[in-house]
């Protein structure tokens, strides 16, 4: 199942450095689903510290289910999830968030009748230190100056692009070590989608580890270090993103080449 080496670009040097990191997240033989409908079948993956990893696959493959299970919103049927080597398999969502995993869902789950600022402050709900909260606010306003302009506007009145930025910013407020991002480009015009991807790359440069689920395979494989391909609830391919983009199956099914 491994994709063996293909000639790749200069990106590789950077990858080597990242590969040295310890495993931050490890998912082992995960089976999960809803009631009696099993969606994930023995899914195993890992994300090392500082890595930018993608999970790609067609609609209904189980990408969102994987993220929801890691985030604790869904309890797995079997398998194991380790974060920094400690099991978090059946931890409820609010505890998963408190140990440093931020999940940014497809539907964003913002608080529409609260201001941008209130949404961000709630992102730091578990943080008690006021100084750290104001530092995080400065950080996300620096990352998304647009949100600073709109800070007293209700989240429900923001545009689609601004809502994505707010969701990412809210996820960053707790200063997480791992960011799980679900389909950030969904419903955005290509230009806005590009800005969201730029923001993710910027976060990664600042040392955040990211597991990204995306339909836009082209850009995803360009910006990530490694990727997993999930089809019908199983991991069918994994490897360096640059190598996967040369893979015949990926080229044929996802890149349309």
Residues near other proteins, by CB under 8 A: 71-73, 92-95, 97-98, 102-103, 105, 108-114, 118, 121-123, 125-126, 159-160, 163, 170-171, 173-174, 187
Name which of 132 and 251 has its Cβ closer to other proteins: 132
Full DSSP string of 97-113: HHTTEEEE-TT----TT
Name which of 8 and 114 has its Cβ closer to other proteins: 114
- Beta partners for 182? 213
Q: 135-142 contacts: CB < 8 A, separation 24 or more?
A: 136/172, 136/173, 136/174, 136/175, 137/173, 139/172, 140/169, 140/172, 140/173
Name which of 25 and 110 has its Cβ closer to other proteins: 110
CB of 46 to other proteins, least distance (A): 22
Name which of 82 and 126 has its Cβ closer to other proteins: 126
Residue whose C-alpha is closest to residue 217's, from 34, 10, 57: 57
CB of 113 to other proteins, least distance (A): 6
CB of 211 to other proteins, least distance (A): 15
Angle between helices 190-205 and 130-143 (to 10 degrees): 130
CB of 117 to other proteins, least distance (A): 10
Cβ-based neighbours of 126, under 8 Å, separated by 6 or more: 97, 98, 174
CB of 68 to other proteins, least distance (A): 9
Name which of 164 and 226 has its Cβ closer to other proteins: 164
Secondary structure of residue 157 in the 3-state scheme: helix
């Amino acid at each position: 199942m491994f994709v063996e080496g293909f000639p790749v670009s200069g990106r590789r040097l950077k990858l080597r450095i990242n590969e040295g990191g310890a495993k931050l997240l490890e998912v082992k033989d995960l089976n999960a689903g809803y009631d009696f409908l099993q969606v994930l079948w023995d899914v195993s993956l890992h994300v090392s510290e500082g890595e930018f990893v993608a999970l790609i696959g067609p609609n209904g493959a189980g990408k969102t289910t994987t993220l929801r299970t890691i985030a604790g919103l869904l309890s797995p049927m079997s398998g194991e999830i380790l974060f920094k080597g400690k099991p978090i398999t059946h931890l409820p969502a609010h505890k998963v968030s408190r140990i440093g995993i931020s999940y940014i869902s497809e539907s964003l789950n913002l608080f529409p009748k609260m201001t941008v600022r209130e949404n961000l402050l709630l992102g730091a709900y578990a943080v008690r230190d006021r100084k750290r909260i104001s530092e995080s606010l400065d950080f996300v306003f620096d990352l998304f100056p647009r949100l600073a302009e709109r800070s007293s506007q209700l989240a429900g009145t923001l545009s689609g692009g601004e809502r994505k930025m707010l969701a990412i910013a809210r996820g960053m407020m707790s200063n997480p070590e791992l960011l799980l991002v679900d389909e950030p480009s969904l419903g955005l015009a290509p230009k806005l989608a590009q800005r969201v991807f730029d923001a993710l790359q910027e976060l990664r440069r600042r040392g955040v580890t990211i597991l990204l689920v995306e339909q836009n395979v082209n850009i995803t494989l360009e910006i990530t270090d490694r990727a997993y391909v999930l089809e019908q609830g199983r991991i069918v391919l994994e490897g360096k993103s640059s190598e996967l983009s040369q893979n015949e199956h990926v080229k044929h099914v996802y890149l349309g080449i």
